[in-house]
Amino acid sequence: MGARFIKKSDGNFYMRLDGNTTQVKFAAVSEADYTYTFSVGGTVRVSKTNSDEGTIYYTTDASPIPSGGTQNNNRFPGVGTTITYSRTTPGVDDYSLSFTASGSGTAFYLGGESLTWGGYAYPGDGYLNNSFALGVKDGGSWKNVGNLFIKDNGVWKECESGWIKNNGSWEQFFGNYGNSSWICMLEDTDDAIDFCVQVIAVN
């Protein structure tokens, strides 16, 4: 069971539900002048409707909470609401992420992702689970494999991870995606918090 944000090898970001998870809710933090809408599968789920004017805000369910922040759920329409996704069978379902911002220069970063200008996207180092690389030898050189597939009942399915038994213990040898419970919409290249949303599995 779980819900998290991922970045696939196509460069796009998704919310991934796996196992029997059908319900999620969202939390948020912000410290940005821009206003935002954050959408999952084309439906707006969380908004940030006011300029923060240098103040850090966070919602009740946010974990961790930002140092020196002020709790205020009313600044983020949509947070804390349980949302149900129709899923017919247990497995893995991905929902595309998008956002709008009132200003330019904004981009997605997974929570904990290393930033080109230094530091890590909110909530910081340790909140991004990095993928494991898998290689194949082609013409005498090792090449990175972006995806791993397995044939199941005649249909090729993409694997989320790969495991191997080593000395009686299962060890992960492949993970397809970097993933985090946080996704951040960062403005320009000045700080690591601007507007960030956390997904929380309810069931």
Q: What's the rounded Cα separation, in Å, for the pair 185 and 196?
A: 6
**Listed residue (172, 202, 178) closest to 2, CA to CA:** 202
Look at residue 172 in the predicted model and tell me its pLDDT: 72
Nearest by Cα to 195 from 14, 25, 28: 28
Average pLDDT across each block of 10 residues of the chain; the chain has 203 residues. List them in order: 85 90 96 96 97 95 97 97 88 92 95 94 92 78 74 82 84 78 93 96 92
**Which residues lie closer than 8 Å to 173 by C-beta, 6 or more apart?**
132, 134, 162, 163, 164
**Calpha distance 166→168 (Å, rounded):** 5
Residues 6 or more apart from 168 whose CB is under 8 A from it? none
pLDDT at residue 6 in the model: 93
Distance (Å, whole) CA 175 – CA 184: 22
Buried b (16+ CB within 10 A) or exposed e, 7-18: bbeeeebbbbbb
What is the C-alpha separation between 70 and 29, in angstroms, rounded? 10
CB 150 within 8 A of CB 94: no
| Full-model pTM | 0.82
pLDDT (0 to 100) of residue 203: 86
What span, in angstroms and rounded, lies between the C-alpha atoms of 38 and 108? 11
Structure confidence at residue 145 (pLDDT): 67
pLDDT score for 62: 98
CA distances from 47 to 39, 68, 183 (A): 9, 22, 14
22-61 exposure pattern, b = at least 16 Cβ within 10 A, e = fewer? bebbbbbbbbbebbbbbbbeeeebbbbeeebeeebbbbee
* Contact yes or no for 201/2 (Cβ under 8 A): yes
